[in-house]
Amino acid sequence: MKVFAGNSNRQLAEAICNYLNVPMGKASVRRFADQEIFVEIQENVRGEDIFVVQSTSYPTNDHLMELLIMIDAFRRSSARRITAVLPYFGYARQDRRASGRTPISAKLVANLITRAGADRVLTLDLHAGQIQGFFDIPTDNLFAAPVLARDVKARRNLENVMVVSPDVGGVVRARALAKRLDCLLAIVDKRRERPGESEVMNIIGDVEGKECILIDDIIDSGGTLCNAAEALLNNGAINVTAYITHGVLSGNAVERITNSKLQELVITDSIQPRSDMVTAPNIRVISTAPLIGEAINRTSHESSVSSLFD
């Protein structure tokens, strides 16, 4: 087993290697003067079980091309098996045709990864579970819920906690966390007037006197969560904390979170945190390295990955 990484999330890749107690694979991923990507594998990988850690986060297209070119380099170097480890799978929100004459980009990206030469995919909290079916190779979708649940249990009195889904579409995810924590569930009913904007309409459930935990897979602009937090507090919640797997936080999202009524935003390191996220007073990052590292170890030894979530 050898673990390599592109340039998107080296910190997480190094933490995964530390968990596995293996050295980071030696590879050079650099740019020519015209910004073409060049990859050189600097050690023998013939017959090896290769894991390439690369989040396709901003700049999404650059990091995606790095992944595809690295996979091609390993395939041409006679690696025995290549697993693409995507802690964050970009383009996942384009998983269906929401209107006429639009693409299903998540399927296109899945095809690209498969045709580049990947033998299997390991990812974390896909935006839509059915994306696993877009790949024609074995795909394991890990869940961050165990990591998030442990953090909640360590910091909260569960008797007074209520898990809240920020929209109707996230109810399944919120219900799963509520079941793990053995606590109640509420739902924020919202209406999105246009992309990137949302208006909270109603709270389904009694949040009076509760410590509310908002749960979602992606935070981008932060508008939905900030509106939801304000609505929950207006309905009697004591405080509101958000647990989100993928901290995209584009534009002025960090400033919006800092100035919001959220007590805390907890994100994972599936996307490498920027400096403004690290220094923000109410944003905290927790690591998924043990989860992903254990999944890599089990994949390499052909043992069960799904049992991680039993």
The pLDDT confidence band at residue 224, using thresholds 50, 70 and 90, is confident
Q: Are residues 14 and 90 located together in one domain of the fold?
A: yes
Q: Are residues 98 and 166 located together in one domain of the fold?
A: no
Supply the DSSP symbol for 24: B
Q: Are residues 155 and 223 located together in one domain of the fold?
A: yes
Q: What is the CATH number of the domain that holds 100?
A: 3.40.50.2020
- Please indicate, yes or no, whether the overall pTM of this predicted structure exceeds 0.85: yes
Q: Are residues 8 and 113 located together in one domain of the fold?
A: yes
Taking all residues of the chain, what is their mean pLDDT, rounded to a whole number? 94
Per the omega criterion (within 30 degrees of 0), is the bond before 281 cis?
no
Q: Are residues 115 and 198 located together in one domain of the fold?
A: no
Average pLDDT in the 251-276 region?
96
Q: Are residues 115 and 232 located together in one domain of the fold?
A: no
- pLDDT above 70 (res 131): yes
Position 193 scores a pLDDT of 60
Position 259 scores a pLDDT of 95
**276 marked as part of a ligand binding site:** no
**123 marked as part of a ligand binding site:** no
Q: Are residues 131 and 157 located together in one domain of the fold?
A: no
Q: Are residues 118 and 171 located together in one domain of the fold?
A: no
Position 99 scores a pLDDT of 87
- pLDDT above 70 (res 266): yes
Average pLDDT in the 81-90 region?
98
- Note every long-range contact of 237-240, with CB atoms under 8 Å and residues 24 or more positions apart, other chains counting: 237/162, 237/207, 237/208, 237/209, 237/210, 237/211, 237/212, 238/160, 238/209, 238/210, 238/211, 238/212, 239/211, 239/212, 239/263, 240/164, 240/212, 240/214
Q: Are residues 134 and 9 located together in one domain of the fold?
A: yes
Q: Are residues 119 and 242 located together in one domain of the fold?
A: no
Average pLDDT in the 202-219 region?
95
Position 9 scores a pLDDT of 96
Domain count, the chain: 2
Any idea which residues carry the catalytic annotation? 190
Lowest model confidence (mean pLDDT) among 16-20, 99-103, 196-200, 201-205: 196-200
Those residues with Cβ within 8 angstroms of residue 19's Cβ, 6 or more apart along the chain or in another chain = 289, 290, 293, 294
**31 marked as part of a ligand binding site:** no
Average pLDDT in the 132-142 region?
96
Q: Are residues 117 and 159 located together in one domain of the fold?
A: no
Q: Are residues 101 and 220 located together in one domain of the fold?
A: no
Given a contact cutoff of 8 angstroms between Cβ atoms, the answer to whether 33 and 310 are in contact is no
Structural domain range at position 29: 2-142+290-309
**93 marked as part of a ligand binding site:** yes
Distances (CA, A) of 182 to 149, 157, 168, 263, 267: 11, 12, 20, 22, 22
Nearest to 199 by CA among 169, 168, 221, 231: 231
* pLDDT tens digits along 155-199: 998 999 999 999 888 999 999 999 999 999 999 987 666 665 556
Nearest to 288 by CA among 151, 93, 188, 119: 151
